[in-house]
Each structure stands twice: as C-alpha cells, then as structure tokens.
C-alpha cells in the first residue's frame, strides 16, 4: 500500500514492498513548488513502458507518451490521483490510493496556502 507523507516543503510518496519491486523505486520526493495541478482522473490511455511492470490495468514504474514522463503506481484505470508537475523527473505521477478524495483535498489545501 502506498503512503504519502506531508512534510513541510514536499510530499514523500512511499511504495509498498511489492510495488517497489514492480515499479523499481521505493520513494519519490515532490516539492510542493513543483506541483502545477492535482486531480482525480480515470486513466485509459496507452503508455509506453520504459521500466517497471504493465499487465492489463496494472501499471507500476516509469512510462512515457508523446514526450511526457509518467510515474504510475496503479492497478485500476478509475479514480487515480494525478499530480501534474514542473521541473521534476516526472511530468505526471498517477497513483491508486485508499481515501483518494481525502488526499486530494489535503494537497489542494496545501497548494492554496503554499508560497511558491
């Protein structure tokens, strides 16, 4: 299960043991100043796998499409948290989360008060 830690200046996304194996990474640090947008979306597009795992709706790892770099950790196409980033290794991070609405709201609240 993924966890998101809300630090003073950044989000820290930590993947579970299995997700780490599938996605070939354990944590991703995202400074609040790098977040352009946050949304909850259904993701049905095809992405080219660079490294990681892709089987059906299960996607874990680094993907690319049309010059956009994605990190995806999801086993569903519906209701994923999407972070759109600037000046970061990834242009978009797509995550399946428990309580996605609560996490989405908390990130929106932080971004509305965070001075970039």
**Tens digit of each residue's pLDDT (9 = 90 or more) over 53-104:** 787 778 888 899 999 999 999 988 899 999 999 999 999 999 999 999 999 9
Which of residues 21 and 43 earns the better pLDDT score?
43
Q: What is the token pair recorded at 68? A: 């956009």
- Give the C-alpha distances (Å, rounded to integers) separating 100 from 37, 65, 93, 105: 15, 25, 14, 9
Is residue 76 a contact partner of residue 57, using CB atoms and an 8 Å limit? yes
Buried b (16+ CB within 10 A) or exposed e, 33-47: bbbeebeeeebeeeb
């Amino acid at each position: 299960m993924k966890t998101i830690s809300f630090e003073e200046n950044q989000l820290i996304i930590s993947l579970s043991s299995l997700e780490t194996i599938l996605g070939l990474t354990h944590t991703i640090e995202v400074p609040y100043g790098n977040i352009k947008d946050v949304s909850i979306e259904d993701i049905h597009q095809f992405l080219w796998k660079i490294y990681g795992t892709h089987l059906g709706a299960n996607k874990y790892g680094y993907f690319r499409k049309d010059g956009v770099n994605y990190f995806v950790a999801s086993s569903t196409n519906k209701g994923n948290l999407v972070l759109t980033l600037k000046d970061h290794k990834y242009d978009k991070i797509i995550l399946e989360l428990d309580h996605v609405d609560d996490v989405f709201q908390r990130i929106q609240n932080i971004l509305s008060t965070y001075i970039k």
